[in-house]
Amino acid sequence: MKFFIDTANLDQIREAQDLGILDGVTTNPSLMAKEGITGEQNVINHYKAICEIVDGDVSAEVIATDYEGMIAEGMKLADLHENIVVKIPMIKDGIKALKYFSDKGIKTNCTLVFSAGQALLAAKAGATYVSPFIGRLDDISTNGLQLIEQIRLIYDNYAFETEILAASVRHTMHVIECAEIGADVMTGPLSAITGLLKHPLTDSGLAQFLADHAKSAAANK
Ligand code: G3P
C-alpha cells in the first residue's frame, strides 16, 4: 500500500519524507490556498518545491473545467517535473481529458469521486489513480469504506490497472480499513500516518526495558 500525504505544507511533507515511508503527495486548490499559495507562478514554484522534497508522485490539480483548458493546464503542469500527476475533476470534460493524457502516457489522478459508477468511468478513461473521498462521504452519513470495497470488486473483475487512491482519509482507522480492503494508496494528513505509531504497550514496554537495562548496568558497575 502506498502512503501519500494530503497537504501543501512543506514542513509536514518534509517530516513525512524523513520517516522514509512516503510514496507521494496529493494537493488540491483548497490545500494550496490554506498555505497562502496564490498566483500562477507561486503555485508552479510550490509544486517544484514539493517535487524536490519527495521522490514519488505529486498530484497537481487543474483549475480549468473545460476540455481545452484542462489539456493546456495539465500539459504545463506535467512539464514541471517527471513526478507530477495531473489531477482532473470527475466531470464530463474531465473524462475526455483523462483519456487524452492517458493516450499520451501522462499520469492522472481523477478527483472528487463519490460513486462506483464514477470510478468505473475513470478506469475506462485510463486514469492512473482514482480518488474516492471517503471522509466526505462519512460526513454525510454514507459509508466511505463501502465505496472502496465496491470499486475494488469492480476493478478486480476486469483487471483495471487504475489504482484506488483512498482520499479524504481523516484518521488511522481509515488507513487500516483501507489496507484491509486492498486500496492501492491512501492519502491523508500527517496525523493519520504518525498516529499509526502509537500504542501504550509499546511505550510502557520500552520504558520497562530501559529501566531494567539501567538497573542491571548499575548493579554490574
Ligand atoms: O484528498 C482529498 C482531500 O484533500 C479532501 O480531504 O479532508 O478535505 O475531505 P478533506
> Tell me: the pLDDT tens digits for 44-69?
999 999 999 999 999 999 999 999 99
Predicted local confidence at residue 97, as pLDDT: 98
Distances (CA, A) of 47 to 88, 116, 166: 16, 30, 22
Query: Could you tell me the distance, in angstroms and rounded to a whole number, from the CA of residue 168 to the centre of ligand 1?
Result: 4
Confidence of residue 1 (pLDDT cuts 50, 70, 90): very high
Q: Do 110 and 127 contact (CB within 8 A), yes or no?
A: yes
Ligand 1 atom with minimal separation from the 189 CA: 7
- The whole-number pLDDT of residue 157 equals 98
Residue 74 DSSP SS3:
helix
Ligand 1: centre distance to CA 8 (Å): 12
Q: Which atom of ligand 1 is nearest to the CA of 170?
A: 7
Distance of CA 41 to the CA centre of its chain: 24
User: How high is the pLDDT of residue 221?
Assistant: 82
Per-residue pLDDT at 215: 95
29, pLDDT greater than 90:
yes
Share of the chain above pLDDT 70, in %: 100
Q: Give me the pLDDT at residue 61, please.
A: 97
Q: What is the overall mean pLDDT for the chain? A: 97
Q: Is the pLDDT of residue 114 over 90?
A: yes
C-alpha 76 – ligand 1 centre gap (Å)? 24
**The one catalytic residue among 2, 87, 104, 124:** 87
109 burial level (CB within 10 Å; 0-12, 13-18, 19+):
buried
C-alpha cell at 174: 481509515
> What whole-number distance in Å separates Cα of residue 165 and Cα of residue 51?
19
Q: Please name the residue whose Cα sits nearest to atom 6 of ligand 1.
A: 168
Q: What pLDDT shows up at residue 3?
A: 98
198 is catalytic: no
Q: Can you tell me the mean pLDDT for 117-122?
A: 98
Q: Tell me, in angstroms, the distance from the centre of ligand 1 to residue 2's CA.
A: 17
Partner residues linked to 26 by β-bridges: 6, 59
Ligand 1 centroid vs 52 CA: distance in angstroms? 23
Q: How confident is the model at residue 37 (pLDDT cuts 50, 70, 90)?
A: very high
Q: Taking CB atoms and a 6 Å cutoff, what residues make up the pocket around ligand 1?
A: 6, 26, 28, 131, 133, 135-136, 167-168, 187
Cβ distance 106 to 74 under 8 Å?
A: yes
What pTM did the predictor assign? 0.96
pLDDT band at 176 (very low <50, low <70, confident <90, very high): very high
CA pair distance 83, 92, nearest whole angstrom: 26
> Counting atoms of ligand 1 from 1, which one is nearest the CA of 27?
4
pLDDT band (50, 70, 90) for residue 130: very high
Q: Taking residues 193-208, report their average pLDDT.
A: 98
Q: Identify whether the C-beta of residue 188 lies closer than 8 Å to the C-beta of residue 174.
A: yes
Specify the residue with its C-alpha closest to ligand 1, atom 5. Answer: 168
pLDDT at site 46: 97
Q: Is the pLDDT of residue 141 over 90?
A: yes
Closest ligand 1 atom, CA of 167?
1
Residue closest to 133 by CA, chosen among 26, 32, 35:
26
